[in-house]
Amino acid sequence: MNQKPDLSFSLEPIEKESAAKTVFTERTCPRCKYARQASDTAPDWQCPSCEVAYDKVDPPKPREPEAAAPAPAPYVGKAARQRAEAAAAAEAAAAAKKKEKAKKKAPRELPTTWIALALAVVVGLGLVGWKYQADKVRAQERIAKAEADARAAEVAAQKAAQDHQARLKDLEKQARRTDGPEAVQELQALAAKGDLRAMLVLGITLRDGRGVPKDQAQAMQWLTKAANEGYSLASVQLGYIYERGLGETQQAEQAENWYLRAARQGDPSGLYSLGLLYSTGLDNVGRRPVAAHMLLDLAQRAHKEQQQDDSLTPPNRGAFWAAGTQRRLAPTMSIVEVAEAKRLADAWKPGQPFGF
CA distance 282 to 240: 13
Q: Is the pLDDT of residue 319 over 50?
A: yes
Q: 242 near 255, Cβ under 8 Å? A: yes
- Domain hosting residue 293, numbered range: 255-356
Q: Is 313 helix (H, G, I), strand (E, B) or coil?
A: coil
HSE (CB half, 13 Å, CA atoms) of 324? 6
Q: Number of folded domains in the chain?
A: 1
237, 311 in Cβ contact below 8 A? no
31 domain residue, yes or no? no
> Do the domain assignments include residue 130?
no
State which of 70-74, 122-126, 258-262 shows the largest mean pLDDT: 258-262
In a domain, 283, yes or no: yes
- Phi–psi pair at 342, nearest 5 degrees: -65, -40
For residues 257-279, give the mean pLDDT: 97
Residue 324 inside a domain? The answer is yes
Question: For the whole model, what pTM was predicted?
Answer: 0.58
Q: 48 falls in which pLDDT band (50, 70, 90)?
A: confident
Distance of alpha carbon 260 from alpha carbon 267, whole angstroms: 10
pLDDT for position 18: 46
Question: What burial class does residue 74 get, using C-beta atoms within 10 Å of its C-beta: 0-12 exposed, 13-18 middle, 19+ buried?
Answer: exposed
Q: Is residue 79 part of a domain?
A: no
Evaluate whether 253 touches 319 at the Cβ level (below 8 Å): no
Is residue 335 a part of any domain in this protein? yes
Query: Are 284 and 301 in contact, with CB atoms under 8 Å apart?
Result: no
If you average pLDDT over every residue of the chain, what do you get? 84
Tell me if 307 is assigned to some domain.
yes
- What are the φ and ψ backbone dihedral angles of 162, each rounded to 5 degrees? -65, -45
Confidence band, pLDDT 50/70/90 cuts, at residue 91: confident
With respect to residue 316, please indicate whether it lies within any of the assigned structural domains: yes
